[in-house]
Structure 1
Amino acid sequence: MHSGLCLRVLILAALTVPIRAAQPAQETFTLTVPDGPTSTLSGSSVSLLCQVSPLINAEPLEVRWYRSSNFHSPALLYKDHKIQEASVDPRYRGRVSLTGGLERGNVSLTLERVTVEDRGEYVCQVTSEQWYEKASVFLTVNVTGSEPVLSVAKARGGGGQVNVICSSDGWSPQPTLTWRNKEGTEIRNGREVLNTSDPQGLVSVSSWLLCAPSDSDWLACTVSLSEEVKREGRILPHIYTAPTAVPGVSKEAFIVTLVLLILSLVIICALCSVILCKRRGSMWSSFKKSRNRSDQTELGQRPADQTELGQGPAGKCFILISR
């Protein structure tokens, strides 16, 4: 009987040892986050990944997402099995959630309607009663700038060269500007690039390229954040350096020809004015003649009237009409 009781005690001890040995392993954990930055477009949604390892149920734990310098006003705070609204940064209210699955140890943060101000470092901190761990995730917000505007200016010193200027603004982060010729070959020599930022952190980029118009039929200026996010403009530099006079014609001959052309236009306009005035005069004379004829016709229809032509004092002529 004693041997049977001892055997039962040994069996129970063998069953409970693995459980007690495994329990301390769950009291500590680590966090797994992406190695590089997480990128997204302005106005879209993004998930900042954070995974508890080993895979344990994170529902009883506290999850805090905050900016690197704003611990007490986090973007999201999960505690006591629910998301806490108090003391949360108002800029993130209604735009953040935990959608990874806490029961599987996924404490990733989903951020909606991303703006340029959302970029930067975010800290994922998970806390239990015995342990806590934190890790950082970097968010970059890509903003596509304006179409490149290209123009041409004469280079100092002449020599047939010109400055081709390319500018574009409203980018985030800082873009890459590339010049290419018609063959698609990148042009690196003779170019300068300048980047400036506005108060919102958006970058404007400008570049000057010194070239001879005969080197290429056209030039392309490409401003890009990646192969998928880019804008391009093209220009024909030789159009802006075309000669102003016809080859083989001297400057004096060109001026004389221009003056003669202007005089010819003036004479033609004067002749047209004279012809128009004559036509108006003939039309007025015809109108007066027809009017006089109608008046005479009215006088001829009055038989009782007698008309006499006399000469008054001072040799003035007068008409006597009697009935």
Structure 2
Amino acid sequence: MCLVAALGAPLCGASPVSGSLEVLVRTPVSVRRGHTITLPCWNNPPQSADSLEVSWYRNYDAPIMSYRGKKFENASQDASYVGRVSFGLKDAASAGLTEGDVSLKLEKATVKDAGDYICYVSSERGYDRATVSLSVTEVGTSPLLSAVWEEDNMLNMSCESEGWYPTPYLRWSDGKQLLQSTRSLRYSEDSSGLQSVHSWLLVSSSSEVSCSVGIFDEEPKEARSKSFLAGW
């Protein structure tokens, strides 16, 4: 079942196992790395969570968070989420657990947190579950341009930027059209999962080109060769 919320995001629930319990979520959601995000999940019709068992999972491995009998069960909690998860509010008007809002509040998001989260709710009358998809983003550094003189009055332009997630795009332009790089485009990843990109382009020494790097839904960062070449 999928409904459309006033915010325009779909509200989806798995087929309820029991007609007396249905779980709804709002998905997808997105967060900037290092920030806090709430993954909305609630039961319908509204029912106090005090009498429910609530668990959040990633791929049904060790639970991210478990709540039963009005208390949290931390013995089997995924270690990477310790101290970073709690119940949150799906919106400003929510009354929280008393009305069945079992949304997951995730703090200090990392790129490794990106993926699908399963909200599982059960009671004596049945159970249901639904999935929330989370994307994590990070905007990297402004592109760094450099150049090396080649034969025949040509320049080998280099553009590099680091600290992006997910994998960024890199585009060369002369102000009128996009330019196809005749040299390599190389990506690398650091220990935290952030992406770096490096590209080369062969141009005439009189050319004025720009290099932009970005991820979708974010303003790209750009560097231009005009000011760079002025110093030659």
Name the TM tier (shorter chain). 0.7 to 0.9
Q: Segments of 4+ in structure 1 off by > 6 A?
A: none
Quote the residue 1:84 is aligned against.
73
Equivalent residue for 1:224, pick from 197, 214, 217: 214
Q: Scaled by the length of structure 1, what TM-score is found?
A: 0.57
Does residue 180 of structure 1 match 2:173? yes
Residue 63 of structure 1: which of 54, 64, 72 is its match? 54
1:229–1:106: structure 2 CA closer, same or farther, 3 Å change rule?
Answer: farther
Distance in 1 between residues matched to 2:179 and 2:224, nearest whole Å: 17
SS in 2 for 1:59: helix
Q: CA deviation at 1:89?
A: 2.2
Residue 33 of structure 2 corresponds to 42
Q: Structure 1 residues 43 and 238 mapped into 2: Cα distance closer, same or farther (>3 Å)?
A: closer
2:12 matched residue in structure 1: none
SS of aligned partner of 1:31: strand
Residues 190 and 211 in structure 1, CA contact (< 8 A), matched pair in contact too: no
In the alignment, does 2:90 pair up with 1:95? no
* C-alpha distance in 2 between matches for 1:235 and 1:215: 8
Q: Match for 1:188: what amino acid?
A: L
Q: Which residue of 1 aligns with 2:8?
A: none
Contact preservation (8 Å) 1:178, 1:186: no
Give the match for residue 3 of structure 2. Answer: none
1:107 to 102, 108, 117: 102
Residue ranges of structure 2 left out of the alignment (5+ in a row): 1-17, 90-95
Shift of 1:83: 2.0
Please report how far the alpha carbon of residue 62 of structure 1 lies from its aligned counterpart in structure 2 after TM superposition.
0.8
Once the 2 structures are TM-superposed, how far is the Cα of residue 49 of structure 1 from its aligned partner?
A: 1.3
Q: CA RMSD in A?
A: 2.6
Count of residues in Structure 1 that have an aligned counterpart in Structure 2:
208
> Where do residues 268-287 of structure 1 align in structure 2 (5 Å cutoff)?
none
Give distance in 2, aligned partners of 1:114 and 1:35: 17
Instruction: Tell me how far 1:76 sits from its aligned partner.
Output: 0.9
Select the residue among 230, 235, 257 that pairs with 2:225. 235
Deviations 1:106-134 (A, max 9, x none): 21100112223322222111111232112
Q: How does 1:11-30 map to 2 (within 5 A)?
A: 27-30=19-22
Using CA pairs under 8 Å that are at least 6 residues apart, name the structure with larger relative contact order, 1 or 2.
Answer: 2
Among candidates 123, 129, 132, match of residue 134 of structure 1: 129
**Which runs of structure 2 are paired with 1:235-314 in the superposition (5 Å)?**
235-236=225-226, 238-239=229-230
For 1:68, the aligned partner's letter is N
